[in-house]
């Protein structure tokens, strides 16, 4: 099963991210070239907000896309590339602040009573508890700003909403993200500039030049794009490092205050229930308990993803050579560095096989998860117990199987309800204490003691 996970992840990065993203950007550049600047700005904001509201999506890809698309249109309206880049930077910072507002006020505040949202944020984790301690301080300081800029976008903003912090102060502390946005937008702009030709076919038709010249208009654009993208990565990493330093300092110097932050009992219970389900999942999905048809399902899925990875990573010949710039266009002719306006022309025969195996593996993995989830639910409803044996090693180095430990489908949950306690205004989860059993004297031991007395 894990080979399917790693294989799917490999194909996503090798094909979807590395290949199809380039084709998508080329299509977007050509599609939005004739659009109104306001319309393109609205599209970027709408798509950016949709992505910002998803927990795992960072802001860098959104700023990079804006840097590619908006200057392409804005240079004509605003009178040059430089004003278009400045406009894009302000649109990006406005998008970031608007996303923070929605995450805090539309998700964090109204949904703070939902256990799932608090669990998704990780309210009881050490990182989030320390962030709560720092963000709860009055005013702005370097530690607070470092968290707002370098912390994960979605969890940080939603946490501010759950804590019901002041919106104006949070937005003010987020403004230094501008130092991350500027190099990222510039990197995107130079990616777009690297694809400009000295005299394109469109320029010839518009009589802007006499003859077609596919040579790059800005030779330095590709190099500067890499430089600014590296700079953006350094700013992002630097802000994360600064945030980590201040969080560790808070743990060292304010340990008492950190311990005083109460544990979210509902989230703790939900976390324990998830752990209980994982334990049951491991039990019901043991290989010898899986039916034959599901074993064949896993074997077929593993074979498919191996074929897909082998074709993409070793054999090759899966996609038509294509890139941003260098005369490549989405709408160009197939024999002239183009795709003829059809994305299917980008995929060759080996690519069709690789992507087909990828899709089949993904489908089979979903079938496996549906079956496994049904078995977990059936186990919970049945009230059965999970028998877990453990292996110990004696003094001679020999292994032996110890007594079996039974874990019921609801035992762990009951233990958590008893463990979540509050003492001296300090909430913590206490370990379960089991009463010590007094040693029992068997009949054989009584006989041995009697014999010893007689011998004396």
pLDDT at 13: 86
Which among 261, 281, 312 is the end of a domain?
261
Highest mean pLDDT among 214-218, 221-225, 329-333: 221-225
Between 241-245, 273-277, 365-369, 420-424, the lowest mean confidence (pLDDT) is in: 420-424
pLDDT > 70? residue 17? yes
Between 112-116, 342-346, 431-435, the lowest mean confidence (pLDDT) is in: 431-435
pLDDT at 207: 65
The answer to the question of residue 339 being in a domain is no
The answer to the question of residue 213 being in a domain is yes
Kindly indicate the confidence band of residue 435, based on its pLDDT and cuts at 50, 70 and 90: very low
Which among 206, 241, 261 is the end of a domain?
261
Which among 221, 240, 261 is the end of a domain?
261
Q: What's the domain range around 61?
A: 33-261
pLDDT > 80? residue 335? no
State pLDDT tens for residues 279-305. 999 888 888 889 999 999 999 999 999
pLDDT > 90? residue 311? yes
The pTM of the full predicted model, rounded to 2 decimals, is 0.74
Number of structural domains found in the chain: 2
Rounded distance between C-alpha atoms, residue 74 and residue 88, angstroms: 9
Per this entry, what is the length of the chain?
Answer: 456
pLDDT > 60? residue 440? no
Instruction: Share the mean pLDDT of the chain.
Output: 81
Average of per-residue pLDDT across 41-53: 90
The answer to the question of residue 85 being in a domain is yes
State pLDDT tens for residues 141-179. 888 998 898 888 888 999 999 999 999 999 999 999 999
Task: Report the percent of the chain where pLDDT is more than 70.
Answer: 81
Kindly indicate the confidence band of residue 31, based on its pLDDT and cuts at 50, 70 and 90: confident
The answer to the question of residue 116 being in a domain is yes
The answer to the question of residue 8 being in a domain is no
pLDDT > 60? residue 401? no
The answer to the question of residue 87 being in a domain is yes
Q: 181: closest CA among 67, 82, 78, 75? A: 67
Beta bridge partners, 422, equal 427
pLDDT > 70? residue 408? no
pLDDT at 101: 94
Average of per-residue pLDDT across 301-323: 91
Q: Are residues 395 and 251 in the same domain?
A: no
Q: Please compute Rg for the chain using Cα positions.
A: 30
pLDDT > 60? residue 183? yes
Comparison of pLDDT for 198 and 404, the residue scoring more: 198
Beta bridge partners, 386, equal 407
pLDDT > 50? residue 446? no
pLDDT at 362: 94
pLDDT > 70? residue 261? yes
**Measured CA angle at 364 (ends 358, 369), to 5 deg:** 125
Average of per-residue pLDDT across 387-403: 47
The answer to the question of residue 319 being in a domain is no
pLDDT > 60? residue 448? no
pLDDT at 392: 45
Kindly indicate the confidence band of residue 325, based on its pLDDT and cuts at 50, 70 and 90: low
Kindly indicate the confidence band of residue 199, based on its pLDDT and cuts at 50, 70 and 90: confident
pLDDT at 430: 40
Kindly indicate the confidence band of residue 256, based on its pLDDT and cuts at 50, 70 and 90: confident
Q: Are residues 251 and 396 in the same domain?
A: no
Write the secondary structure of the chain as one string of H (helix), E (strand) and C (coil): CHHHHHHHHHHHHHHHHHHHHHHHHHHHHHHHCCCCHHHHHHHHHHHHHHHHCCCCCCCHHHHHHHHHHHHHHHHHHHCCHHHHHHHHHHHHHHHHHHHHHHHHHHHHCCCCCCHHHHHHHCCCCHHHHHHHHHHCCCCCCHHHHHHHHHCCHHHHHHHHHHCCCCHHHHHHHHHHHHHHHHHHHHHHHHHHHHCCEEECHHHHHCCCCCCCEEEECCCCHHHHHHHHHHHHHHHHHHHHHHHHHHHHHHHHHCHHHHHHCCCCHHHHHHHHHHHHHHHHHHHHCCHHHCCHHHHHHHHHHHHHHHHHHHHHHHHCCCECCCCCECCEECCCCHHHCECCCCHHHHECHHHHHHHHHHHHHHHHHHHHHHHHHHHHHHHHHHCCEEEECCEEECCCCCEEECCCEEEECCHHHHHHHHHEEEECCEEEECCCCCCCCCCCCCHHHHHHHHHHHHHC
pLDDT at 300: 95
State pLDDT tens for residues 351-393. 999 999 999 999 999 999 999 999 999 988 887 766 554 444 4
pLDDT > 50? residue 428? no
pLDDT at 373: 93
Contact 108, 158 (CB under 8 A): yes
The answer to the question of residue 386 being in a domain is no
pLDDT at 454: 46
pLDDT at 326: 66
């Amino acid at each position: 099963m894990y080979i399917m996970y790693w294989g799917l992840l490999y194909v996503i990065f090798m094909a979807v991210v590395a290949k199809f993203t380039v084709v998508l950007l080329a299509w977007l550049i050509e599609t939005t070239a004739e659009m109104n600047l306001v319309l393109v700005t609205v599209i970027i904001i709408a798509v950016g907000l949709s992505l910002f509201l998803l927990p795992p999506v960072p802001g860098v890809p959104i700023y990079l896309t804006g840097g590619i698309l908006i200057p392409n249109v804005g240079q004509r309206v605003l009178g040059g590339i430089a004003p278009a880049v400045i406009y894009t930077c302000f649109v990006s910072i406005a998008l970031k602040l608007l996303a923070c507002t929605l995450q805090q006020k539309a998700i964090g505040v109204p949904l703070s009573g939902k256990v799932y949202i608090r669990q998704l944020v990780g309210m009881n984790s050490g990182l989030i508890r320390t962030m709560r301690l720092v963000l709860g301080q009055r005013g702005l300081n370097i530690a607070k700003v470092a968290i707002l800029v370098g912390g994960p976008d979605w969890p940080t903003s939603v946490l501010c909403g759950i804590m019901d912090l002041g919106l104006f102060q949070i937005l003010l502390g987020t403004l230094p993200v501008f130092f991350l946005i500027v190099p990222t937008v510039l990197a995107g702009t130079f990616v777009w500039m690297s694809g400009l030709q000295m005299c394109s076919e469109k320029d010839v038709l518009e009589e802007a030049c006499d003859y077609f010249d596919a040579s790059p208009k800005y030779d330095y654009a590709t190099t500067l794009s890499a430089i600014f993208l590296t700079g953006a990565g350094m700013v992002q990493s630097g802000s994360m490092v600064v945030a980590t330093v201040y969080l560790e300092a808070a743990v060292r110097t304010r340990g008492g205050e950190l311990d005083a932050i109460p544990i979210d009992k509902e989230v703790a219970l939900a976390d324990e229930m998830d752990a209980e389900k994982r334990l049951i999942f491991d039990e019901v999905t043991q290989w010898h308990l899986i039916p034959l048809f599901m074993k064949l399902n896993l074997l077929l899925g593993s074979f498919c993803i191996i074929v897909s990875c082998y074709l993409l990573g070793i054999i090759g010949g899966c996609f038509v050579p294509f890139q941003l710039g260098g005369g490549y266009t989405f709408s160009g002719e197939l024999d002239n560095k183009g795709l003829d306006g059809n994305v299917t022309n980008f995929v060759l025969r080996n690519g069709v096989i690789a992507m087909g195996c990828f899709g089949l593996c993904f489908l089979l993995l979903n079938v496996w998860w549906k079956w496994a989830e049904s078995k977990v639910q059936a186990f919970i409803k049945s009230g059965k117990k999970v028998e877990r044996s453990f292996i110990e090693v004696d003094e001679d180095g020999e292994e032996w199987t110890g007594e079996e430990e039974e874990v019921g489908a609801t035992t762990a949950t009951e233990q958590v309800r008893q463990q979540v306690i509050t003492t001296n205004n300090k909430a913590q989860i206490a370990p379960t204490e089991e009463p010590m059993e007094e040693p029992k004297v068997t009949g054989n031991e009584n006989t041995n003691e009697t014999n010893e007395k007689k011998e004396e």
